[in-house]
Structure formats: C-alpha cells, structure tokens
A and B are shown apart, each in its own frame.
Chain A
Amino acid sequence: MPTPAFDVSRSDDSTTLIVRGSLDINTAPVLADEIDRIIVDKPRFVVVDMTGLDLIDSSGVAALVKLYKGVRAAGGEVMISGARDQPLAIFKLLRMDKVFNL
C-alpha cells in the first residue's frame, strides 16, 4: 500500500496535519490511522494544511470528514487551509466548501 505524505505536529491544545501529494483510496487508509490518533487526543484545534495536496478522491474526502466529525464531537474545531486546484474543486463540487470555510 502506498504511503501518503503527511506530517503531524502537536502543541498543547492544537494539532497540525500537513497532507501532500495524493489522498485517495490507496493512501487514505494509512492516514486514517493517524486521524484516529488525533481524534483520541481530543485537541481543541486542528489545522489541516492542504497546500501540498495535489489530488483527492472521495476516499480522501471521507477521511477528512471523519477527522472533522471526530474532533467536533469532542468539542474541538477544524480548519482546512491551503486547498487549491483539484482538491478545492472536489470540495466545492461536494458543496462542503462552506462547512470547511474554504
């Protein structure tokens, strides 16, 4: 299984998830494990930096929706930043751009 390019940094109450390359059905399952860990930590604030993300498919979107719901359920907030090109087009197509403030 391909390894998605992502980094996670944590501070006291916030977490930053940087995703690069392609987040799709082959790479999203690996990121899902990291997302589970983020949700368990119950951070107050999560930033998903998509500046380096070139492609996303419905599996990638589902992974980020899971992150959003998990963090929100614990009272945290999620912000997606840097969405551009194809990933931004997909979020707009799915009418999720307003939810994620893109």
Chain B
Amino acid sequence: MAATVMLSVPGTLRYRDLAVSVVSEAARLVACSDDARDAFGTAVIAAFSEIFNNVAIHAYQRKGGGTIDIAIKPTDRELVIEVADHGNPFDLGEVPPLPSDIDEHSLPEGGMGIYIAKKMLDEVSYEPGPPNLWRLCKRLPGGVRANTRV
C-alpha cells in the first residue's frame, strides 16, 4: 500500500508555495516517463494551487486563523489529494460557469479557479464541514506505465 503524505500549514497564501512544492514532488512519484511526468505534474499543480487559493481566500477570508490539512496519496495509477479546512464552507453552486463562447466581450475576470481545477483533474469533489473537505484525483492516462516509488 502506498504511503500517505500528510502536511498541515497555516491557512494563508504565504504557505501556498510550500504546499505546492510538496504536491509537486508527490506527483513525480506517480508518473514515470518525462512526458507523462510533465503533463501529470502540470495538471496536478495547477489544480491544487487553485484549490489552495480558494481555501485561503474563501474559507479563511485571507485572515488565516486555521490550518489547511493536506493528505497526499500517490498510488501506482493515480494521485489523490484531500484538502481539509475549518473555515467558512464554500458554495460550489455560486461559482458562475464560464461562458460557452468566450470572446472579447465575455472574457471572465473571476470564477476561473474551480473551472481550471475541474478541467485539469479526473475528479473534484467538495463536502462542507467542519472540516470542509476537497478531494482531488488525477489518474495516469491509459497506457502510461506507472512507477510509484513509495
């Protein structure tokens, strides 16, 4: 069974890069080839960064006051990341969808983070708490040989 990496950081953006660096290394444990590693890591980092932003901004209102508890589970086929907080719950239903046809006049200035996370990952779920819990999952594409070294 693969190990679970646990990380708990203060719920502010100051600690985002630290958390992203740990997730980035965990992503490298799952994907083996250079091509697969680059694409897999790019998707995971982009998505996780947006979710971390969301927690720090919406759950903790940019004030901190709690922790962001991250459980990272690399297996031979996927990377699962659980992000828990004890801040304000987030209403996914309030996130406006991206316009179906984006042109100069409909360029969005917000609401893109969740969209990016959903598009980059295979699964994104959220359960309001406490603790509020995001569950993110990225799988290796079919045919890519896994090389989990944990």
Contact yes or no, B107 A57, CB < 8 A: no
Residue of A57, A89, A96 with highest tally of chain B CB at under 10 A? A57
Q: Closest A residue to B38 by CB, please name it.
A: A85
Q: Does B104 contact A (CB under 8 A)?
A: yes
Contact yes or no, B109 A25, CB < 8 A: no
Distance, CA A81 to CA B45, complexed state (A) = 24
Known: A25-B13, A57-B113. A93 touches B120 (CB 8 A): yes
Contact yes or no, B102 A58, CB < 8 A: no
Which of A57, A85, A95 is the one whose CB lies under 8 Å from B53? A57
Contact yes or no, B107 A68, CB < 8 A: yes
**What total count of A-B pairs have CB within 8 Å?**
62
Which residues of chain B (53-111) have a CB below 8 Å from chain A?
A: 53, 57, 98, 102-104, 107-110
Known: A26-B16, A94-B115. A59 touches B42 (CB 8 A): no
Q: Does A47 contact B (CB under 8 A)?
A: no
Contact yes or no, A24 B102, CB < 8 A: no
Distance, CA A94 to CA B110, complexed state (A) = 12
Q: Does A35 contact B (CB under 8 A)?
A: no
Which residues of chain A (52-102) have a CB below 8 Å from chain B?
A: 55, 57-59, 61-62, 65-66, 68-69, 72, 85-86, 89-90, 93-96, 98-99
Known: A26-B17, A65-B108. A94 touches B102 (CB 8 A): yes
Q: A25-B53, A61-B112 are in contact. List 11 more A-B contacts (CB 8 A).
A: A25-B57, A26-B16, A58-B115, A59-B113, A62-B110, A68-B104, A69-B109, A86-B42, A86-B46, A93-B120, A94-B108
